[in-house]
Amino acid sequence: MEHPIKAILIYFKFLLKELISPLNYFMAFLIGVVINYFQGIGMFSSLVPFVVPIIVQSISKASVKFGNRNLNLLVRLPIEKKDPAFVINTAGNIVVSEGKTKDFFANNNIKNFLDLFENQQVINIKSMINKSCKTKDHISEEWYSPRAEKWYSINMKADEFSNNLLVWLDDVTLRKKLNEILGKVRNFSTQMMLSIDEQLKSTDSYDRLAQFVLDLGYKGIFITSKEKDGNLKGFVYKTLNGQINKSNEIIIAKDSEAPIWKSRRNPSIITDTIKKYNDSEVFYQNNRFDHEVLDFLDFKIENFVNYHEEDISVITFNKHYEVTQCDLTIMEGIVNSAFTINYLVNIINNCK
């Protein structure tokens, strides 16, 4: 519940804005002149017809705006939101846009709804506009915008009091990307399962996993298994001249401060990036990478993702783009797949 004193202060803020509004004084001037004239006295003989309208208008307008302040805040949402919201006519021309949407359209020279999709959806867009004009409900589609380089859920609704349509777009790029990569992960897991016999002979499960992760856009990956003595042992992989390159066996002691231990000591998926720090040295002080790993990678680590499943620990380095929640979800799935495949291989070997 809003505090009474705060509400009073907000009301007086609205009132003050109305008291200094030139429009109120202009209207009061016209009203005063008309009243004095029809009373048969000089136009400026009495000040009352001029003063009263100023007070009445200011109080009434302030009261209306105060009462509708939350509704006005809600109306401002399309202006403030990052995803475009605007009005078009039946020809697709943009009639009204404000705030961030207006800036986006101006910067990208977008004047018609078709421009946003670079005429790739001409037939579908015209069909959607026609369909919107024939229904009271809003309709939606999902299309890719080359101009914005994003996937959008397009929502459109006709206005019964005009010949225009309200359009609002929701950025669904992350969901689209997640679905695409999850499809790749499922396919990878299936192929790994179907080739277990082959992997038993070549013992290259980790090599295949590393290749898959590097293809997702990471620059390096370190895959380890936890040994009986508590240490981690594994290999670092990177791409060199278009080919996967594998390090010699590297052991990370159980008392090491290397970041590959972080998800075990704080049970969760861990990520960090140098962009979070004003001083890059603080990033390296907080993340003491093993010197053998650094020597093999031979590049400056700027971000990483670390996760583990049972005895397998994985840390990836330097995703080409910003690490997102999508990447963390993918990493959990990948590591889980690695554990499953490794577990099955061990079972088969023990049964021989």
**Confidence at residue 235, expressed as pLDDT on a 0 to 100 scale:** 93
Helix/strand/coil for 179? helix
AA identity, residue 169: L
pLDDT of residue 295: 94
At residue 348, does pLDDT exceed 80?
A: no
Domain ranges of the chain: 4-75, 78-171, 176-351
Question: For the chain, where are the alpha helices, taking DSSP H only?
Answer: 4-19, 22-38, 48-67, 69-75, 77-80, 99-107, 113-116, 122-133, 173-194, 196-202, 205-215, 262-265, 280-286, 291-297, 325-351
For residue 317, what pLDDT band results from cuts at 50, 70 and 90? Answer: very high
- Do 53 and 35 contact (CB within 8 A), yes or no? no
* Amino acid letter for position 251: I
pLDDT score, position 222: 95
- What DSSP element (H or E) covers 224? strand 220-226
Q: Which amino acid is at 195?
A: S
Greatest C-alpha distance within the chain: 116
Looking at per-residue confidence, does 177 or 306 come out higher?
306
Q: What is the pLDDT of residues 207-244, one digit of tens each?
A: 888 888 898 889 999 999 889 899 999 999 998 888 88
**Which pLDDT band holds residue 285 (cuts at 50, 70, 90)?**
very high
Whole-model pTM above 0.75?
no
| pLDDT at residue number 262 | 93
C-alpha dihedral, 327 to 312 to 273 to 269, nearest 10°: 60
Q: Which residues are registered as beta bridge partners of 96?
A: 87
**Percent share of the chain, pLDDT over 70:** 81
For 60-91, how does the pLDDT look when each residue is reduced to its tens digit (9 = 90+)? 777 777 666 655 544 555 555 677 888 888 88
193-208: per-residue pLDDT in tens? 666 666 666 566 788 8
DSSP string over 93-115: BEEEE-HHHHHHHHHTT--BHHH
CATH class of domain segment(s) 176-351: alpha beta
pLDDT at 271: 93
**Least confident range of 76-80, 101-105, 114-118:** 76-80
User: Is residue 45 scored above 90 in pLDDT?
Assistant: no
Span 115-130, average pLDDT: 74
SS3 232: strand
Query: Is-contact 25 52, C-beta < 8 A?
Result: no
Equal CATH topology for 78-171 and 176-351: yes
Fold of 78-171: Beta-Lactamase (3.30.450)
